[in-house]
Amino acid sequence: MPVCLAGYESNFNTQAFNEKNADGSSDYGIFQLNNLWWEDKHFSENACNTLCSKFVDEDIDDDILCAKKVVKDPKGMSFDKEIVKHCKSKDLSKYLASSKL
């Protein structure tokens, strides 16, 4: 599911940034991790224990670690109906076609 999420949400762009969510939150990086839940700020749950600015650089190791937490968390990826619609139980081969995975 994270590979589909990265393809669907950011088109695999590690510097993707969306600051236009209705609730005032922003989404960062290849997995579009939301700052109200995952960022190291006073108003956040800080579930990933990192600054969102780290999610928009070329090093995606921290993004992957956070995405793993998102997948395991009950409030994680399943809450987003669009992601479920586009990714859950779908053929994800198109997202892996040009990769070496």
The answer regarding whether domain 2-93 maps to CATH 3.40.630.30 reads no
**Cβ of 59: how many Cβ atoms within 10 Å?**
10
Which of these is catalytic: 27, 58, 59, 82? 27
What are the pLDDT digits (tens) for 26-83?
A: 899 998 888 876 555 545 566 788 888 899 999 999 998 888 887 777 666 555 666 6
Domain boundaries, the chain: 2-93
9 labelled catalytic: yes
Q: Is 89 exposed, middle or buried (0-12, 13-18, 19+ CB in 10 A)?
A: exposed
Global pTM? Answer: 0.74
What are the pLDDT digits (tens) for 38-50?
A: 555 545 566 788 8
Q: Which two tokens stand for residue 17?
A: 């940034």
58 labelled catalytic: no
